[in-house]
Structures are given as C-alpha cells and as structure tokens.
Structure 1
C-alpha cells in the first residue's frame, strides 16, 4: 500500500497548504486586531510594533479592495485553480479543506462580506488612531520638531 502522500495529487496537496495558510492569515488579522485592542487597554508595548501593524493593514487593504472590485481574496482563486488542476470539485474535498473551509467560508451574499470587510478596515484604522504604531509616533514626533 502506498503512503498517503503518494496518493494525493500534488495540486491537491498544494491547495490544502494554500487553504491552511489562508486560515492562518485570517487568524492573524482577526486575532491580531483583538489582541492589539486588548493590549492597548492592558498597556502591552508590542501593540505599537510597526511591522506587525503595517502587515495587518496591508492584508486587510488587499481583501477590501478585492471585495469592492467584486473579486475574492487572491488566495481563494489560487486554491480553486489548484483544486481544478487536481481534478477536484464540489464534494471531493480533503479533511483539511473541509474543516478549515467551515471555519473561514460562509454562505452569504457578497455585499455582506464587503460590508464586513469595510467595517473591519475602519475598526483597524481606528486602532491606528487609538494605539498608533511606532512609525506614526516617530512621524508625529518629527512633525513637532522633537528628536525621535
């Protein structure tokens, strides 16, 4: 009997990897904002980390712009293309795909997702006002003529 990895077509395995990465990015964005807000309230210094905050903003911006254009996240298209290359369709899914899909995909009209992405983006921008990243703190300091 062949091991499992010899029975799974390479595109199907890659599609599962894309799906898991997609789920981790969703967790990073949602959990990151939640922890940023909690951390701001608790006085945690890491919530001002510019790299973390800029990465989060970039990801949410891409998703929002795609949604406003009537398109899905690029990872969704990549995964679908890989599944098609593996000969998979609707119900022919792997264990990983089934569980991660149930966590991040919901059956709702497109406008619901666009509204949700927009509200989340606005909340993310408000977090930049309430808890500015260090890069904004430095910029404000320079604007006021102070040394960083």
Structure 2
C-alpha cells in the first residue's frame, strides 16, 4: 500500500476515534441538558444503551490496562507509512498535545471510572423510555 493511502487510512481512523470520544463525552452532557430542557429524544432507549455501552467499554478497557483498538490501528497505519507514532493512549496523547497536560495512567482510570459512574447515574436520573412517544 502506498504511503499516502496509509496516512489517509490513519487519518480516517483518527476521525472515527474523535467522533467516538465526542459521542461518549458530549453524550452525557446532552443527556443532562436534555433533561433540563425537556428534550424527549435524550430518553430514547437505543441511543442510551449505545451510549452506556460505549462508556462501559472505555471504563473496562482502562481497568484492564488495554489501549483502545482504534489507537493501535491508527499507530500501526502511521508506522507502516513511515511516520513517527505516539506512545500511550489516544486521550493522553491529545490532552498532552492540546493542553500540555500529563497525568499517570491511574489518574485516567479514575477519571474514566468516575465519568462512567455519572453515565450510569444518568440512566436513573434521566430514565430512558421503552418506546419513543409519537
């Protein structure tokens, strides 16, 4: 495969990763905002299950000390294209790069766990509907 194609594929994986992170982080904010604004769509059960599953995946992955498969895939594509890759997790890399923020791995596990607990709490505070109302 050519270097430009490998880099394009790595960038696509990066964009998918950003979308996933945005869904996880912004999803919780939207759930609580929707509660206060009385948006019924934030109670859609399928959407809420998808959000809870995504956050659960991140939390369990951090507890097990695993690096996200999207990070592994992006780094492998960049390495194959001859580009320098980053170490650590996706979030650690970009927080450091964007905010010059560094923390030990345990701090990220703690943050992910607390965030996951907030998402789980949202299930009870902003109860999903079994069926969307017409």
TM-score category by the smaller chain? 0.7 to 0.9
1:17 counterpart residue number? 12
Larger Rg: 1
2: CA distance, partners of 1:66 / 1:112: 14
Spell out the pairing of 1:52-91 with structure 2 (5 A cutoff). Answer: 52-90=47-85
- Structure 1: 5+ residue runs without aligned partners? 1-6, 92-99, 138-148
Tell me the matched-pair count.
123
Report deviation, 1:90: 4.2
Q: CA RMSD in A?
A: 2.6
Consecutive aligned runs of 4 or more in structure 1 exceeding 6 Å deviation: none
Report deviation, 1:114: 0.5
The answer to which of 64-73 and 7-16 deviates more is: 7-16
- Structure 2: 5+ residue runs without aligned partners? 87-92
Report deviation, 1:34: 0.3
> Are 1:132 and 2:127 counterparts?
yes
1:99-122 alpha-carbon deviations (Å, 9 max, x no partner): x94459953211111001100100
The answer to which of 77-86 and 123-132 deviates more is: 77-86
Choose from 43, 53, 56 the match for 1:48: 43
Is 1:68–1:114's contact at 8 Å kept on the other side of the alignment?
Answer: yes
The answer to which of 104-113 and 70-79 deviates more is: 104-113
1:146 counterpart residue number? none
Is 1:23–1:104's contact at 8 Å kept on the other side of the alignment?
Answer: no
Is 1:50–1:134's contact at 8 Å kept on the other side of the alignment?
Answer: yes
1: CA distance, partners of 2:98 / 2:40: 31
